[in-house]
């Protein structure tokens, strides 16, 4: 069972909350766990690469989400288990990483 709670602030005083409960079967649970694990793996790999790149040469330009998405293809060749995840979830990871960087 997965519980997802989304909170959104609209205007100044309105707070909306949506609770969503999923009941995936065993196959779907395995797929979700694989996808979440791959998302964490991509986050850590890209973050380590960005940190090392910054430490080696601070003058290099910032890598945006599109450049990080371009790096997903060689990463998938190096780590074939990443092909089990939906590519859009990995791209969202890159987007959130660039926003948090």
**Helical ranges in 1-101 per DSSP H:** 26-56, 65-70, 72-78, 87-100
pLDDT in tens, 21-79: 888 999 999 999 999 999 999 999 999 999 999 999 988 888 888 999 999 999 999 99
Closest to 101 measured CA to CA, from 36, 56, 34, 46 = 46
Task: Determine the pLDDT at residue 70.
Answer: 94
């Amino acid at each position: 069972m997965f519980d997802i709670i989304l909170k959104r602030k609209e205007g100044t005083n309105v707070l909306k909350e949506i609770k969503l409960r999923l009941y995936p079967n065993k196959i779907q649970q395995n797929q979700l766990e694989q996808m979440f694990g791959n998302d964490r793996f991509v986050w850590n790999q890209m973050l380590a690469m960005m940190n090392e790149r910054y430490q080696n040469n601070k003058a290099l330009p910032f890598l945006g989400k599109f450049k990080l998405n371009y790096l997903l293809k060689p990463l998938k060749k190096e780590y074939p288990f990443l092909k089990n995840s939906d590519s859009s979830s990995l791209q969202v990871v890159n987007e959130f990483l660039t926003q948090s960087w």
